[in-house]
Amino acid sequence: MAGSSDDSRPVHALRLAAGYGAVHAAVDGACIALLAWLDVFSSATTGSLFAGHWPVSTIWTLFVLYNCLAFGLQFSIGAVVDRSGRYHTTTLIGLALVGLAITAFRASPYVAVVLVGVGNAAFHVGAGAIVLRLSPRRAAAAGIFVAPGSIGVALGAWCGKSLPHWQWFFLGALLVSAVAVCWLRTKAALDRRPSPQPISIRRSIVPLAVGALMLSVAIRSTVGLTIVRLHQGSLFILLGLALAGFFGKGIGGLVSDRIGWIKTSVGALLLSAPLLAILVGNVPMAVVGVVLFQMTMPVTLLAIYRVFPEEPGLAFGLPTLALLLGAVPIFICPLAWFSGSVPLLAMIGTSAATLLIGLPPILRREH
């Protein structure tokens, strides 16, 4: 529960989370650089290696394939790895697969996308589970770990489109990351950290609480992608939104631990609603809105973990599955269905309401 902790070294946990977060940025950057180079984010193939050879449908297939693997596999990989507890090994395997994908992308883009998608999923499960184990009662560490991913995505998109030898840059970054993970393993010492005790929540309440939290995540995914698509024509605005996501996730856990999880997460969502739904065309207001909007993520992640304290891999993978499900409507429906003020207000309000359904049973039982 926010405001209480049995973490013996919270500052130590935050430092380790920052280290894993830096590796997170490198992994996401490498993945998105590969996709950007393959022109996944653009319908135009002019100027790429495969110009004139790939139809837009093929590029779209690769994009969907990557997202299904990277986001859809995490909960299943997590469930398997939880049985062995080899989270550091899974993290290193993820790094290796992403590096292999970068070396294989010229030979077979499909193989490269499969490798990078599975590698991304394995890394997130391994490193994410470690961070959850390091700080099972405070949300700050989870936010600090996840936040750099936004920077990695922005950096990777730019490098893949603009940097001629981007692959060497990211291969070097992944090599350094592997060394860093090996060093962080000795500092984390998970084998000497007991798993947190399960909270005494009735089994009948678990599906309701977890389902409500996942629904909140899915709705936020739909809203977030809608905001990005509304501004996708401007690189500088997208960079600003990426920085906003970084700061929102990074400070969300810190603020939540200090003033309360429900106050922070629900309050931040409600404050973001008019900025994202009514003033989204005003770039500074949209950036502020995204900061508030993303502050909820660490709380949702930690709350689900508190329901499954002995399965951190599964707990980390469930919200990412919700992210994928929330992206589906954006992939298959017209943007106009979601981009109006009324739909955005309704979605953000519903996301806040589902938090009020999912969080109280978990926090009450935790207390």
**pLDDT band at residue 39 using 50, 70 and 90 as cut-offs:** low
Write out the H or E segment, with its range, that includes residue 334.
none
Highest mean pLDDT among 105-114, 182-191, 216-225, 333-342: 216-225
pLDDT at 1: 40
**Counting beta carbons within 10 angstroms of the beta carbon of residue 349, is it exposed (0 to 12), middle (13 to 18) or buried (19 or more)?**
middle
Q: What is the pLDDT of residues 296-315, one digit of tens each?
A: 999 999 999 999 989 999 99
8 Å CB contact between 122 and 93: yes
Query: 72, 188, 84: which is closest to 120 by C-alpha?
Result: 72
- Collapse the DSSP code of 105 into the 3-class scheme (helix H, G, I; strand E, B; otherwise coil) and give the result: coil
pLDDT at 193: 61
Q: What is the pLDDT of residues 49-64, one digit of tens each?
A: 444 455 556 777 888 9
Range list of β-strands (E), 165-287? none
Instruction: Show the domains of the chain with their CATH numbers.
Output: 10-366 (1.20.1250.20)
Mean pLDDT of 6-23: 81
8 Å CB contact between 322 and 221: yes
Whose structure tokens read 């603020």? 255
The fraction of the chain above a pLDDT of 90, given in percent, is 66
Range list of β-strands (E), the chain? none
| pLDDT surpasses 50 at 47 | no
pLDDT at 336: 86
pLDDT at 196: 64
For the chain, the first-to-last Cα distance in angstroms comes to: 6
**pLDDT band at residue 43 using 50, 70 and 90 as cut-offs:** very low
**pLDDT band at residue 192 using 50, 70 and 90 as cut-offs:** low
Bigger pLDDT: 232 vs 296: 296
Bigger pLDDT: 161 vs 203: 161
Mean pLDDT of 184-208: 72
Q: What is the pLDDT of residues 70-88, one digit of tens each?
A: 999 999 999 999 999 999 9
pLDDT at 204: 72
Q: How far apart are CA 23 and CA 147, in angstroms?
A: 11
pLDDT at 141: 95
Bigger pLDDT: 11 vs 22: 22
| pLDDT surpasses 90 at 37 | no
Mean pLDDT of the chain: 87
Bigger pLDDT: 99 vs 365: 99
Poorest-pLDDT segment among 47-56, 140-149, 282-291: 47-56
Torsion angle of C-alpha atoms 26, 28, 29, 32, degrees rounded to 10: 160
Bigger pLDDT: 6 vs 358: 358
**pLDDT band at residue 237 using 50, 70 and 90 as cut-offs:** confident
| pLDDT surpasses 70 at 346 | yes
If one counts every other C-beta atom within 10 angstroms of the C-beta of residue 335, the result is 13
